[in-house]
Amino acid sequence: MDLLLTSSGLRNDTLRDALRDMVGKPFSSANVVYVPTASVAEPGDHGWLLSDMNRMHALGWREFDILELNGLPRQSVLDRLSRADVVYASGGNHYHLARSISGNELTEGFRQALEDRVYVGLSAGSMIFSRNLTAHSADVIGDTADLHALGTTTVESPFNAFDWYLKPHLYSPDFPERDDAWADRIVTRADFPIYFIDDDTAIRVRDDEVDVVTEGRWRFHP
């Protein structure tokens, strides 16, 4: 499983080069499927989604597909995932994205698709792989409002890929409360490992190897 888990998409050359290396061929020879599902659960202005979509499209893919995970036949979703070289999941509500995968019985097909494709996440799209995607971590991190907005108090990762949790947008001007003091408060309550990453950073996972790709700042607390 090859994952590039970003905070705010491919915002700099280092992140774009990392993806190009993971894909193993020019973007002009590759297909991408853009999954906006997490964004649908977020109210308000979605200009940020359009900006990210345009930034991705501008990389010059052979085919740029847009795929909503809800409402389509299961096999249709899986067939379109299988056409892609890169699966890109946008930001929004990570609990909605996780529940859309598991609730539509896409988990196993999604997992199989990712065995030989590259997955890129933006914010919420990066947060669905941890075994610690739970109601407990929502309370520790302070994300219970996002969970309750879905009318539920329970959630689990569709993939359970690793123990550490990822929290994006450290030091972001769009989230001014996410400073070192905010991270420190979370760490004092957390009983699981956490990566905090800024908007110029990604966590790269290639099978069992994990490293940080960055032009910015990040923190890890084991």
Q: What is the pLDDT of residue 30?
A: 98
Identify the weakest region by mean pLDDT among 25-39, 145-159, 174-188. 145-159
Q: How far apart are CA 11 and CA 168, in angstroms?
A: 14
Beta strand residue intervals within 133-207, DSSP E: 165-167, 194-197, 201-206
Confidence of residue 113 (pLDDT cuts 50, 70, 90): very high
Confidence of residue 142 (pLDDT cuts 50, 70, 90): very high
pTM above 0.85, yes or no: yes
CA 203/CA 84 separation, integer angstroms: 21
Coil, strand or helix at 206:
strand
For residue 214, the model assigns a pLDDT of 98
Task: For residue range 55-87, list pLDDT tens digits in order.
Answer: 999 999 999 999 999 999 999 999 999 999 999
| Cα gap 147→130, rounded to integer Å | 16
**Domains along the sequence of the chain with CATH:** 2-221 (3.40.50.880)
Per-residue confidence band for 44, with pLDDT thresholds at 50, 70 and 90: very high
Tens digit of pLDDT for each residue in 10-34? 999 999 999 999 999 999 999 999 9
- Over pLDDT 70: what percentage of the chain? 100
